[in-house]
């Protein structure tokens, strides 16, 4: 294209060059030819430039663009190392692999990140080791590889991240039920100070409860002190844990106080409200408990405890003697539970697959494996955690890096689930109830397998996005090249039209000049003949005078003898006529007209040659573009096919989990349905008794008569005579003694999720 542009500029300059000397024209052409020379490529400096562009993209958070460039660089043969003093300044393959690992870490491509990080750690540069070791630790934890976290901590260097490694190691040990090690690591994280000290202190309280369940009093005091300094969702998490722990120690007033302190519209408000309701019920505040249970059922209809709360609200009405209202509420629970049980019992594979497909396409399936979001037991570790631009810049410049500081206050709660599940199509939810999305994880849940398949989907998404972007860029660049060729061709066509107009004007001028020149030639001949004739035909005077003067001149020797005077007069006449401007410019006009015709002919030939060159360039561009776009479309189709395969694997894992949750939810609904039917019968029984009693006696009898049925209805005895989630006890995972109780739920291990 540069050569074509130079050719176009040369053609545009033709009218000026036509007026220059041949030497000047050849000099100009030689200069244009020299500008098309291409210097040889220096592979080391080329790699340096590409690495700097990728680094700039990463610092500007253009991660996908950087990944595309770095993957292309990694696919090329290894560039030989630069020689001489340049080895201290130019970036090499190790720098490129480090940046590629950073891009993959940011995008959650943990498997590829680990591979490239290990390559850099084994071959250098060594200045990247501290940052990569910290990121490897975080990557292992966020993918659920807790055993690998322990091995990395044992074999790693000293913790230079102000408690981050100690906190992550403690969380991994907690997940592996290695509580002594977890307590040691949490103590180290607390000693390191902010920003991880508070969360480490909170986890240390939970660890102490796991190791010694008799330390509830001291644990409650520590939680109360921590709640006074904590902020945000973390503060609500501490207060909720304290409320449930106070409930387990029969300190119902304190449990209510802690539950009331939780943010009303926060993500942990549902379980706080349920805890408050049970504490009120145990504290003999039946009316308040009924209102709290009813509020929970109305505000959070998608949660599994909805029907249980409605049953307890009806139970409270029974104990208050409001048998009609209690019976109506029992019947409502029975009717809704029967309808939903029928839908779950008749669930089809297509319905489950549709919901799973909707979750995967919305990229919201990961929240299915969040550990106990009601309690805020999942810390959201973003994919960019530990890859801050400031840290990356300091590492690349060789200065002492400040290792990553990851915020721990990002806690996944029910609000996050509701917001993300809202992106899932309602059509899928109408077939299979969305309540299965909020049900506890099944006993056979496989979060590790899900994480692997989710990572495969993410990698396929990136691959498809990169190939699509390459296709768009190639199409745009091809269009721009064709537009440039056609623009130059149109410019040449304009020049051709200009030359054609000039030729027409020259032809017209030539026709006129030819007539004029013929007239001038005729006039010249006529004048010459007229003068000679007049000299010859003059009677007497002129001829005699000429003869006398000629004889006199001959005698004096001024003219040679035998001179033809008439011929002399004719020659003199030609000289005088040629000296006239009209006859003098006649030959100059002929010469210039011939030169203009030749220059116009040369310009037309050059323009025709340029047209042929542009036509050939356009044909070649179209051919190359077609082949390139065909190849890119094939790559895009292959990437989309790989994404479809990865999505199919993830959909299969999600559908299996949804089916298991639907089965668990069906069992829970059937249990609640039996309790509702029993409550309906109980309400009818007491209504029948009340109809046979004197007015004013029904309330006392109803209250005393139904108080005994409370335990058998929805509050089975637990470790302390009752549990917060009695009907859902078997669905809880990770609980030790007293399943479903606040202390057990407070001790649920927190799990990092991507």
Q: What is the pLDDT of residues 63-85, one digit of tens each?
A: 988 998 999 899 888 766 555 44
How far apart, in Å, do the first and last CA atoms of the chain sit? 48
CA distance 481 to 69: 23
Q: In which residue are the tokens 């519209």 written?
A: 265
The label of the residue with tokens 């253009």 reads 62
- As beta bridge partners, residue 223 has none
Q: What is the pLDDT of residues 265-295, one digit of tens each?
A: 888 999 999 999 999 999 999 999 999 999 9
3-state secondary structure of 378: strand
Q: Per-residue pLDDT for 451 more than 70?
A: yes
Mean pLDDT of 626-648: 91
CB contact at 8 A, 700 and 716: no
CA–CA separation, 516 vs 586, rounded Å? 9
Reported as a single tens digit per residue, the pLDDT across 117-166 is 999 999 888 888 888 888 898 888 888 888 888 888 876 544 555 677 88
| Residue 27 pLDDT grade (very low, low, confident, very high; cuts 50, 70, 90) | very low
Per residue in 303-313, pLDDT (tens digit) is 889 999 999 99
SS (H, E, C) 543-590: HHHHHHHHHHHHHHCCCCCCCCHHHHHHHHHHHHHHCCHHHHCHHHHH
Q: 278 and 246 in contact (C-beta within 8 Å)?
A: no
Q: How far is it, in rounded angstroms, from Cα 611 to Cα 623?
A: 18
Contact 284, 256 (CB under 8 A): no
Structure-token pair, residue 606:
């050059």
Q: Which pLDDT value is given to residue 723?
A: 30
730 against 372, higher pLDDT: 372
Coil, helix or strand at residue 410: coil
Q: Under DSSP, is residue 380 helix (H, G, I), strand (E, B) or coil? A: strand
- Would you call the peptide bond into 195 cis, given omega within 30 degrees of 0 as the criterion? yes
Distance CA 537, CA 501 (A): 53
The two three-digit tokens of residue 534, written as one number: 């007049």
Per-residue confidence (pLDDT) for residue 570, from 0 to 100: 64
Q: pLDDT tens, 541-579?
A: 455 555 666 666 666 666 666 556 566 666 666 676 666
Distance separating alpha carbons of residues 375 and 412, to the nearest angstrom = 9
Report the pLDDT value the prediction gives residue 285, as an integer from 0 to 100.
95
Q: Which of 457, 395, 463 is nearest to 58 (CA)?
A: 395
How high is the mean pLDDT of the chain? 77
State the Cα–Cα distance between residues 286 and 195, nearest whole angstrom. Answer: 43
CA 394/CA 63 separation, integer angstroms: 18
Phi, psi of 134 (to 5 degrees): -65, -40
Q: What is the pLDDT of residue 528?
A: 72
Q: Does residue 26 have a pLDDT over 60?
A: no
**What are phi and psi for residue 753, nearest 5 degrees?**
-130, 150
What is the spatial distance between Cα 262 and Cα 208, in angstroms, rounded to a whole number?
A: 24
Partners of 411 in the β-ladder:
379
Q: What is the pLDDT of residue 722?
A: 31
Give the single-character DSSP code of 127: G
pLDDT at 133: 87
Q: What was the pLDDT predicted at 719?
A: 30
Tokens 């709290």 -> residue: 292
pLDDT-above-70 percentage for the chain? 73
Please compute, for residue 104, the number of CA atoms within 13 A of its CA located in the half-sphere on the CB side: 26
Quick one: pLDDT at residue 196? 82
In 3D, which of 4, 19, 3, 15 has the Cα closest to residue 603? Answer: 15
Q: Is the pLDDT of residue 642 over 70?
A: yes
Q: For residues 357 and 29, what is the distance between their CA atoms, to the nearest angstrom?
A: 66
Q: pTM for this structure?
A: 0.69
Q: Give pLDDT tens digits for 190-228.
A: 988 877 888 899 999 999 999 888 888 899 999 999 999
In the chain, where are the structural domains located? 451-527+564-636
Higher pLDDT, 54 or 712: 54
CA–CA dist 725, 732 (Å, integer):
9
- Counting every residue written for the chain, the total comes to 754
Alpha-helix runs per DSSP H in 262-348: 269-282, 286-299, 306-319, 323-345
Contact call for residues 434 and 302 (beta carbons, < 8 A): yes
Residue 178 and residue 170: Cα distance in Å, rounded? 9
- Number of alpha carbons in the 13 Å side-chain half-sphere of residue 10: 21
**562: its two tokens:** 């035998």
Distances in whole angstroms, Cα of residue 248 to Cα of each of 308, 377, 560, 744: 19, 19, 155, 9
Q: Is 502 exposed, middle or buried (0-12, 13-18, 19+ CB in 10 A)?
A: middle
For 497, the 3-state DSSP assignment is helix
pLDDT digits (tens, 9 = 90+) for 150-162: 888 876 544 555 6
User: Which residue did the predictor score with more confidence, 398 or 464?
Assistant: 464
- Answer yes or no: is pLDDT of 525 > 60: yes
Task: Identify the CA nearest to 219 among candidates 751, 722, 741, 747.
Answer: 747
Query: Token pair of 391, please?
Result: 């840290």
CA angle 380, 383, 384 (to 5 degrees): 110
CA distance 148 to 169: 10
3-state helix, strand, coil in the chain (%, to 5): 75, 0, 25
What DSSP string describes 626-680? HHHHHHHHHHHHHHHHHHHHHHHHHHHHHHHHHHHHHHHHHHHHHHHHHHHHHHH
Give dist(CA 474, CA 71) in Å, integer: 18
Bridge partners of residue 753, in order along the sequence: 380
**Whole-number CA gyration radius for the chain:** 48
Q: Does 8 have pLDDT greater than 70? A: no
For 468, half-sphere exposure in the C-beta direction (CA atoms, 13 angstrom radius) is: 11
Highest mean pLDDT among 157-166, 552-561, 631-640, 733-742: 631-640
User: Is pLDDT above 50 for 707?
Assistant: no
**Tokens 């994919």 correspond to what residue?**
383
Q: For residue 521, give every residue at least 6 positions away whose Cβ sits within 8 Å of its Cβ, in sequence order, or none.
A: 586
pLDDT of residue 405: 59
Which is higher by pLDDT, 560 or 30? 560
- Is 750's pLDDT higher than 80? no
DSSP letter at 611? H
Compute the distance between CA of residue 380 and CA of residue 558 in angstroms, rounded to an integer.
Answer: 126
Please say whether the beta carbons of 313 and 294 come within 8 A: yes
Helices (H), 346-439: 349-361, 389-396, 414-421, 426-431
pLDDT in the model for residue 706: 38
């Amino acid at each position: 294209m540069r050569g074509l542009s130079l050719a176009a500029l040369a053609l545009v300059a033709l009218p000026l060059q036509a007026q220059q000397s041949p030497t000047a024209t050849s000099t100009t052409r030689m200069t244009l030819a020299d500008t098309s020379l291409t210097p040889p490529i220096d592979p080391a400096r080329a790699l340096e430039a590409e690495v700097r562009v990728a680094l700039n993209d990463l610092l500007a958070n253009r991660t996908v663009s950087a990944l595309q460039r770095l993957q292309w660089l990694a696919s090329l043969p290894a560039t030989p190392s630069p020689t001489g003093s340049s080895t201290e300044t130019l970036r090499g393959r190790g720098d490129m692999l480090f940046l590629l690992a950073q891009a993959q870490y940011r995008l959650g491509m943990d498997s590829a990140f680990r591979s490239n990080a290990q390559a850099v750690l084994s071959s250098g540069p060594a200045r990247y080791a501290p940052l990569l070791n910290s990121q490897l630790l975080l990557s292992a934890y966020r993918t659920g590889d807790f055993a690998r976290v322990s091995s990395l901590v044992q074999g790693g260097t000293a913790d230079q991240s102000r408690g981050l490694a100690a906190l992550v190691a403690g969380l991994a040990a907690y997940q592996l039920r290695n509580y002594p090690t977890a307590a040691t690591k949490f103590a180290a994280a607390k000693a390191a100070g902010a920003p991880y000290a508070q969360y480490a202190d909170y986890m240390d309280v939970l660890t102490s409860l796991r190791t010694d369940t008799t330390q509830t009093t001291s644990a409650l005091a520590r939680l109360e002190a921590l709640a006074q300094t904590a902020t945000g969702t973390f503060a609500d998490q501490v207060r909720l844990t304290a409320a449930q722990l106070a409930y387990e120690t029969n300190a119902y007033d304190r449990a209510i106080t802690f539950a009331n302190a939780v943010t009303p519209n926060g993500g942990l408000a549902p379980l706080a409200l349920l805890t408050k309701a049970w504490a009120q019920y145990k504290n003999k505040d039946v009316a308040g408990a009924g209102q709290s249970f009813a509020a929970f059922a109305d505000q959070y209809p998608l949660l599994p405890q909805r029907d249980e709360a409605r049953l307890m609200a009806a139970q409270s009405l029974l104990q208050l003697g409001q048998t009609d209202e209690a019976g109506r509420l029992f019947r409502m629970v029975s009717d809704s539970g029967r309808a939903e049980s029928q839908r779950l019992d008749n669930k089809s594979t297509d319905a489950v697959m549709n919901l799973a497909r909707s979750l995967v396409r919305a990229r919201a399936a990961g929240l299915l494996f969040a550990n106990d979001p009601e309690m805020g037991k999942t810390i959201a570790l973003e994919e960019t955690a530990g890859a801050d631009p400031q840290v990356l810049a300091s590492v690349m410049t060789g200065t002492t890096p400040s290792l990553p500081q990851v915020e721990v206050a990002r806690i996944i709660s029910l609000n996050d689930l509701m917001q993300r599940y809202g992106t899932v199509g309602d059509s899928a939810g109408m077939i299979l109830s969305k309540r299965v999305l909020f049900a506890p994880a099944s006993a056979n849940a496989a979060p590790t397998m899900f994480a692997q398949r989710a990572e495969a989907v993410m990698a396929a998404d990136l691959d498809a996005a990169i190939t699509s972007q390459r296709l768009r860029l190639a199409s745009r660049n091809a269009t721009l090249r064709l537009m440039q060729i056609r623009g130059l061709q149109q410019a040449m066509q304009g020049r051709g039209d200009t030359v054609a107009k000039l030729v027409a004007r020259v032809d017209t001028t030539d026709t006129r000049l030819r007539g004029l020149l013929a007239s001038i030639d005729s006039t010249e001949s006529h004048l010459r003949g007229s003068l000679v004739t007049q000299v010859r035909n003059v009677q007497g005077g002129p001829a005699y005078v000429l003869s006398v003067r000629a004889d006199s001149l001959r005698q004096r020797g001024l003219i040679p003898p035998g001179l033809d005077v008439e011929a002399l007069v004719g020659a003199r006449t030609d000289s005088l006529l040629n000296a006239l401007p009209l006859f003098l410019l006649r030959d100059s006009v002929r010469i210039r007209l011939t030169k203009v015709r030749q220059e116009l002919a040369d310009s037309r030939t050059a323009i025709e040659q340029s047209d042929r060159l542009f036509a050939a360039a356009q044909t070649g561009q179209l051919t190359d573009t077609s082949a390139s776009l065909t190849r890119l479309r094939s790559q895009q189709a292959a990437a989309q096919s790989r994404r479809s395969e990865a999505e199919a694997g993830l959909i299969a894992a999600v559908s299996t989990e949804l089916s298991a949750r639907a089965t668990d939810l069906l069992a829970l609904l059937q249990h609640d349905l039996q309790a509702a039917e029993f409550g309906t019968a109980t309400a009818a029984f007491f209504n029948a008794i009340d109809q046979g009693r004197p007015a004013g006696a029904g309330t006392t009898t109803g209250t005393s008569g139904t108080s005994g049925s409370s335990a058998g209805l929805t509050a089975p005895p637990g470790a302390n005579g009752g549990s917060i989630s009695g009907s859902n006890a078997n669905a809880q995972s990770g609980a030790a003694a007293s399943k479903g109780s606040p202390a057990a739920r407070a001790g649920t291990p927190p799990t990092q999720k991507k």
